[in-house]
Amino acid sequence: TRVTEQLRTADVDRALDAISGIVLDADAGTSIGTALDGLLGNARYRPLVRGALVVVLSDGLERGDCEAMIRGAHRLGLLGHRLVWWSPLACRPGYRPVTRGMQGVLASLDELSGVRDLDSALQAVRRLPVTASGPRQGAARAWRAAREAEGAT
């Protein structure tokens, strides 16, 4: 569901009210793969991705086959300067990107972190300069290191 027009207001409450009236597909998984195919398949939008710091906000729980999501994330990772994925699920202390879709996109990500509200979004935005200047495709290494550190304690 396209919500760009509804997000043009500076009033957060008004934006959320407007979005709630048009987003009818927010239950039972997402269709990020379809959205990424639409973005990357449109010659007008593709140049906007090239060299950009791209942020995907999704739990990564794709409806049906997740191959389009994996393919789209890989392509975004190649076209963009950095690819960041913010998931509300990653806010949970025990979260692990173990679904087939998230395992598939993890290698393309420069960062995978949790965002669940405006405060956590602001913290994530403040980390973007570090992500933008850090090594490419570091999300998989970071999650692997975190898992190994947990095993050592």
As a whole number, mean pLDDT of residues 51-58 equals 94
CA dihedral 132, 55, 70, 31 (to 10 degrees): 180
Q: Please, what is the angle between helix 67-79 and helix 32-41, to 10°?
A: 40
The backbone region for 109, taken as left when phi is positive above 0, alpha when psi lies in -120 to 50, beta otherwise, is: beta
| Contact yes or no for 77/44 (Cβ under 8 A) | no
| pLDDT, tens digit, 9 for 90 and up, residues 97-150 | 988 999 999 999 999 999 999 999 999 999 999 999 988 988 888 888 877 777
pLDDT recorded at residue 72: 95
Q: Is the pLDDT of residue 23 over 90?
A: no
Cα(112)–Cα(94) distance, integer angstroms: 14
As a whole number, mean pLDDT of residues 73-100 equals 93
Placement of tokens 């398949």 in the chain: 41
